[in-house]
């Protein structure tokens, strides 16, 4: 899970201001590192580990000049996440281009051992974006003549699709323009927008619509699965359909990743989460359990918590106060770091627990570390009964497309029934949404024709090319990152 934005502004403008405004809007997608590359006569870069506000200072605006920019926030999925892996990446030769991505290259290790080894190319990082960049630039280098045309970019994108497997949305710039493309199955989001100012028209591609909203852009549309856009010196956006595969956007974007004020593929994340809460509320009523209050785990469960409580007929209360200055435990690099921050992150309000049958609602239950600690806190606060509810289904399978769930042993639900999970977590009952309920809820929030990637719930990988070797390689990457 990462976030990106690329911008092409009017000649003479500086795109970095919009780029950083966009990054702040998607800081939730990656707190490990941030970076930006601009172009004016040459590439100018600033990258570093930490939050956007920690990496960038006012003094950096003086040299991050140019009407072209690409920027990124990251947490590591492939690689160790050190400063050499911070995006964007760029090449000055043989083709000048800078690039950022969101996703995961599943055949990263295979490409390193064959494609790049045969070309005597030595990668300078452990970040999988580097292979996308080299394959793209290598194809672009073979174009017939300058300037770069939409046909040249289409050939380069097709080369990436043919060689690089996995899920990845990409945005980037060259000295001549801006491009973006979405993986053949459209698993990762990519949204295109524009704004008109007295200076001229600005164009942007980003991971979420909220990025464009915050920076003052009008959403034009989502890129389709396997589609690219190129804006060259003529400043006319040109779209091309490069691959034709079934569209399978990641459903976890609606459950957890995206901001609630975002629209993805014509669907409101906020409306989806409200509907997820309603459906789980109906399921709770069917159990015959009696609850006094619904307490959502902040932040992502708040929207669903309100509608679940409405259906059950009990109040929704803020039982946990979140310390906003502690990072998201889900994207911390290892279990030790996650567990150390959970108690500091969430502090309870005793009056909302004491003597009550409490529904604690979360967006998902992955490893169980957060849930176990939350249940323990609720017990300490005097809760009579604790019903732990997840408005997504059981997470059972590794995600190989850019979510930090890459080792089978991490899932608390794997190999356990509901009773065993409840016992392991210390709660009285655990309640999950079904896959069917989840899909129907998201479709009801907008695009009723969407079919999703649900690999982490059911183990069916839409790209159809996942091998045991890939599973092993990526699992090893995550284990090494946890030790680092």
Annotated active-site positions, please?
Answer: 2
Q: What are the DSSP calls for 89-122, one per residue?
A: EEE-SSS-EEEEEEEEETTHHHHHHTHHHHTT--
Q: Are 337 and 272 in contact (CB under 8 A)?
A: no
| Cα–Cα distance for residue pair 91/409, rounded to 1 Å | 39
Give the DSSP H/E element, type plus range, for residue 380: helix 369-380
| Cα–Cα distance for residue pair 1/194, rounded to 1 Å | 24
Q: Locate the DSSP E strands across 175-258.
A: 178-182, 191-197, 200-206, 218-222, 227-231, 238-241
Query: If we measure between CA atoms, which residue out of 402, 454, 476, 464 comes closest to residue 167?
Result: 402
Residues 6+ apart with CB under 8 A from 251: 438, 439, 442, 452, 453, 454
Kindly report the length of the chain.
484
Give the DSSP H/E element, type plus range, for residue 278: helix 269-287
Q: Are 312 and 289 in contact (CB under 8 A)?
A: no
Q: Which two tokens stand for residue 224?
A: 């389709």
Q: Are 107 and 116 in contact (CB under 8 A)?
A: no
Q: Which two tokens stand for residue 453?
A: 């990637």
Q: Are 86 and 48 in contact (CB under 8 A)?
A: yes
Q: In 27-101, where does DSSP find H-type helix?
A: 52-55
Residues 6+ apart with CB under 8 A from 379: 386, 426
Q: Which two tokens stand for residue 400?
A: 């190989």
Query: If we measure between CA atoms, which residue out of 153, 19, 138 comes closest to residue 88?
Result: 19
Q: Are strands 227-231 and 238-241 parallel, antiparallel or unpaired?
A: antiparallel
Backbone angles phi, psi at 168, to 5 degrees: -160, 125
Q: Are 215 and 258 in contact (CB under 8 A)?
A: no
Asked whether the CA dihedral 64, 70, 74, 79 is positive or negative, the reply is negative
Asked whether the CA dihedral 105, 74, 3, 390 is positive or negative, the reply is positive
Give the DSSP H/E element, type plus range, for residue 168: strand 166-174
């Amino acid at each position: 899970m990462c976030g990106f934005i690329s911008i092409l502004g009017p000649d003479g403008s500086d795109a970095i201001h919009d780029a950083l405004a966009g990054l702040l809007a998607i800081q939730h997608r990656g707190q490990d590192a941030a970076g930006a590359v601009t172009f004016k006569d040459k590439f100018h870069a600033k990258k570093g580990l930490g939050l956007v506000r920690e990496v960038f200072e006012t003094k950096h605006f003086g040299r991050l000049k140019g009407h072209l920019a690409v920027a990124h926030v990251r947490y590591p999925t492939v690689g160790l996440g050190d400063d050499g892996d911070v995006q964007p990446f760029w090449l000055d030769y043989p083709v000048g281009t800078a690039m950022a991505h969101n996703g995961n290259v599943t055949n990263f290790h295979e490409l390193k051992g064959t494609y790049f080894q045969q070309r005597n190319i030595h990668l300078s990082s452990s970040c999988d974006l580097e292979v996308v960049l080299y394959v793209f630039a290598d194809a672009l280098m073979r174009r017939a003549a300058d300037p770069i045309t939409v046909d040249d970019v289409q050939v380069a994108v097709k080369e990436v699709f043919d060689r690089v497997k996995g899920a990845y949305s990409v945005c980037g710039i060259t000295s001549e323009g801006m491009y973006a493309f979405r993986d053949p199955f459209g698993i990762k989001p990519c949204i295109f927008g524009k704004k008109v100012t007295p200076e001229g028209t600005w164009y942007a591609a980003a991971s979420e619509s909220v990025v464009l909203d915050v920076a003052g852009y009008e959403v034009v549309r989502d890129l389709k699965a396997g589609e690219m856009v190129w804006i060259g010196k003529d400043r006319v956006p040109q779209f091309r359909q490069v691959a034709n595969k079934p569209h399978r956007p990641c459903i976890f974007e609606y459950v957890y990743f995206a901001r609630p004020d975002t629209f993805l593929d014509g669907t409101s994340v906020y409306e989806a989460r409200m509907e997820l809460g309603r459906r789980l509320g109906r399921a709770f009523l069917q159990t015959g359990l009696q609850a006094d209050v619904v307490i959502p785990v902040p932040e992502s469960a708040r929207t669903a918590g309100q509608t679940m409580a409405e259906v059950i007929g009990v109040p929704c209360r803020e039982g946990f106060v979140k310390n906003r200055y502690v990072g998201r435990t889900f994207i911390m690099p290892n279990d030790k770091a996650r567990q150390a921050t959970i108690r500091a992150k969430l502090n309870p309000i005793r009056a909302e627990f004491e003597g009550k049958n409490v529904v604690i609602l979360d967006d998902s239950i992955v490893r169980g570390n957060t849930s176990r600690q939350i249940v323990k806190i609720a017990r300490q606060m005097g809760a009579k009964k604790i019903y732990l509810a997840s408005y997504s289904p059981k997470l059972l399978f590794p995600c190989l497309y850019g979510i930090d769930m890459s080792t089978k042993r991490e899932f608390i639900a794997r190999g356990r029934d509901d009773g065993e999970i409840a016992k392991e977590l210390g709660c009285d009952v655990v309640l999950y949404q079904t896959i069917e309920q989840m899909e129907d809820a998201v479709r009801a929030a907008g695009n009723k024709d969407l079919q999703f990637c649900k690999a982490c719930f059911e183990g069916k990988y839409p790209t159809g090319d996942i091998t045991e070797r890939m599973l092993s390689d990526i699992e090893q990457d995550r284990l090494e990152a946890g030790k680092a």
